[in-house]
Amino acid sequence: MTAAASRIFCAVDTTDLAAARGLAGRLAGLVGGLKLGLEFFVAHGPDGVRAVMGSDGPPLFLDLKLHDIPNTVAGAVRAVLPLAPAFLTIHASGGPAMMRAAVEAAAAAGPGRPRILGVTVLTSLDDGDLEAVGQAAPAAAQVERLARLARECGLDGVICSPNEVAALRRACGPDFVLMVPGIRPAGAAAGDQKRVMTPAEALAAGADHLVIGRPITGDPDPAAAARRIAAEIAGDAP
């Protein structure tokens, strides 16, 4: 696998178990890991995750966006530890006690624990959406506020849009993981994402990992799409 490809987590957003397994097989060795989210987990649970990832699959990004009282979130983190996810998400807006509870629960897995990432502001939201729910701060300011809080609470990193990557890298330092959705290769449609950037632009800004879904999964040849995106990142695209 190329260094460029290793930065990509493919978002497998489906409830079709057979399709998810087939996609995982076609992308083997072409992406750095797979993201399975709430839609898939609700449909198939831990057994479905195991069926897709296999015993020697790529790193798992389990994107459940947990958000509840601290005790419940801690229990949920402990419940997914047997799946050995490399990354697990919680909502940073759940507050300091909830975030610390998640970190403490993850630590029970020892050195192979999942890295806990905080969801800041969903990439489907913009300033107008935040104002509608009573958050007057611009999206970028809210993202930085939550990212700083997440770091203080012991989280390993955050999910953020490409537009906030550079600011968060400055604010939170070089070792804070920035997992970045809202990635669209050159020429791709934005879809329902309002804050987007190309893969190369996001990495240049300081992203660690890129979450890419439909540009790969919606392509008639997902493997070819993954190769094209890796080439674009590496600067080898035609």
Between the alpha carbon of residue 204 and those of residues 153, 162, 231, the distances in Å are: 27, 10, 15
- Number of domains composing the chain: 1
- The predicted pLDDT at position 236 comes to 58
Catalytic residue among 21, 50, 65, 214: 65
- The tokens for 8 are 């990509």
CATH number for position 229:
3.20.20.70
- The rounded percent of the chain whose pLDDT value lies above 70 is 94
- The predicted pLDDT at position 6 comes to 93
- The predicted pLDDT at position 2 comes to 85
- The predicted pLDDT at position 187 comes to 55
Residue-wise pLDDT tens digits, 80-98:
999 999 999 999 999 999 9
- The predicted pLDDT at position 188 comes to 54
pTM value > 0.95: no
CA distance linking residue 155 with residue 161, whole number of Å: 18
Domain that holds residue 127: 5-234
R_g of the chain, CA atoms, integer Å: 17
- The predicted pLDDT at position 237 comes to 47
Beta bridge partners of 222: none
Please answer whether residues 54 and 33 qualify as being in contact, where contact means their C-beta atoms are separated by less than 8 angstroms.
no
Residues of the chain with pLDDT under 50: 190, 192-195, 237-238
Q: Is 194 a catalytic residue?
A: no
CA distance linking residue 236 with residue 73, whole number of Å: 43
